[in-house]
Amino acid sequence: MLAHIDFYSNCLMMKTGINVLLPDEPHETLTVLVLLHGLGDDENSWIRQTSLERYVNQESLAIIMPRAERSYYQNGLAGQKYFDYICTELLVKCRTWFSLSEDLDHTFIGGLSMGGFGAAKAALLHPEIYKSAFLMSAALDLPRRWEQDKKREMWYKTLFGSLKELKNSENDLFNLITDSKTNVKKPYIWQLCGQDDLFYQENCDFNELLEENGYRNVFLKVEGNHSWEVWDKAVIIVIAEIKKLLFEAQ
């Protein structure tokens, strides 16, 4: 079952929309996966570009797909707090509307590309909210992105200030992995990336750093590039991995 909801967000200070996928049969409480879109997409992209609705209709899983524009799921300098939105307000509202679990062991986040960045940051900074992060072709090294693509500099400045401010901040995910303050409680980090993907090397580097710092992590290297063909297959594996984690938590 697919529900679309338009509502006013206090964090964003405007109306926004989400899609929520629910199983066809009612359940008392549902495991939660917040699934984030990439740059240039919206809350409809996972539905339109994959067979996600078919994959999940027999599972006791609710998939929440928010709209985040081109925000990088960041509390932007203009005032719209997308990071606070996905970590607090979104879950609170959805749990009042639907029968969703409030148990950490049943609360996950994932995303592709820009959404992979948002999912990683959310799990690393808030492991008390999200048990695990599922990163598909994630854009993980924003300082590298900035240095390699100066055409995006003005846009990045509206989100992160300067490149100097970005480095070693909470938006520098490599810094979060090594920072002792955020390295106390470690979420499970699952990665998948195509070997022809433009983000492949930074995913390899991120995986290596996770291992060096004692994180439980998995990195699946698959054929393909930065495409929905890869992500449609990836989300099937994500659903299976969530079921595995739930079994382990019993």
Tokens read off for 144: 């590298």
Q: What is the pLDDT of residue 180?
A: 65
Residue 71 dihedral angles phi and psi, to the nearest 5°: -85, -15
Q: Do the Cβ atoms of 166 and 156 come closer than 8 Å?
A: yes
Least confident of 31-40, 71-80, 222-231: 71-80
Q: What is the pLDDT of residues 118-177, one digit of tens each?
A: 999 999 999 999 999 999 999 999 999 899 888 888 989 989 989 999 999 999 999 999
Strands 188-194 and 132-136, by their bridges, are parallel
CA–CA distance from 141 to each of 40, 155, 249 (Å)?
Answer: 19, 16, 31
How many helices and strands in the chain, by DSSP H and E? 11, 8
Query: How far is it, in rounded angstroms, from Cα 118 to Cα 123?
Result: 9
Asked if residue 77 has pLDDT above 90, the reply is no
Nearest to 182 by CA among 145, 221, 219, 210: 210
pLDDT digit string, tens, across residues 176-223 = 999 867 667 899 999 999 999 999 999 999 999 999 999 999 999 999
- pTM for this structure? 0.96
* Residue type, position 131, single letter: K
